[in-house]
Amino acid sequence: NAGVTQTPKFRILKIGQSMTLQCAQDMNHNYMYWYRQDPGMGLKLIYYSVGAGITDKGEVPNGYNVSRSTTEDFPLRLELAAPSQTSVYFCASSPTSHSQGAWYEQYFGPGTRLTVT
């Protein structure tokens, strides 16, 4: 199992450009998430998905969009990049097992470091 994979690892964008951060998991998890991590702020949830075709906003969704056409993939789209979107982005997934706590164990990808200048 590769687990959760993310591409690219690093990216520099100019203000106003757009890009898609890719995320894939091979664990057949239904739940997937996108977070951003800023220094001293912990992780903030951007969007999440409970299955193919179902997505919803998290705590900080403005400036981002997602889609979930398959169980495996959960791309994050930035349409008009702004300096405030400079951050490290993590994708995560979690299983739907009914054993206690397993629902809440999230498996993280290695992250994408994005700089907008």
Helices (H) and strands (E) in the chain, counts: 0, 11
Query: Strand, helix or coil at 45?
Result: strand
Among 2, 14, 41, 62, binds another protein (CB under 8 A): 41
94 binds another protein (CB under 8 A): yes
From CA 70, how far away is CA 21, in angstroms rounded? 16
Return the closest-CA partner of residue 89 out of 2, 4, 1, 3. Answer: 4
Return the closest-CA partner of residue 31 out of 75, 72, 78, 76. Answer: 72
* Nearest approach, Cβ of residue 49 and another protein (Å): 9
Among 12, 50, 80, 82, binds another protein (CB under 8 A): 50
**Window of 11-19, 50-58, 66-74, 79-87 that interacts with another protein by CB under 8 A:** 50-58
Q: Based on the number of CB atoms within 10 Å of its own CB, is 108 exposed (0-12), middle (13-18) or buried (19 or more)? A: middle
Among 11, 22, 27, 45, binds another protein (CB under 8 A): 45
Question: Is the CB of 24 or the CB of 111 nearer to another protein?
Answer: 111
What would the x/- binding string for another protein be over residues 18 to 37, using CB under 8 A? -------------x------
Binding site for another protein (CB under 8 A): 4, 31, 40-45, 48, 50, 56, 58, 90, 92, 94, 100-101, 103-106, 108-111
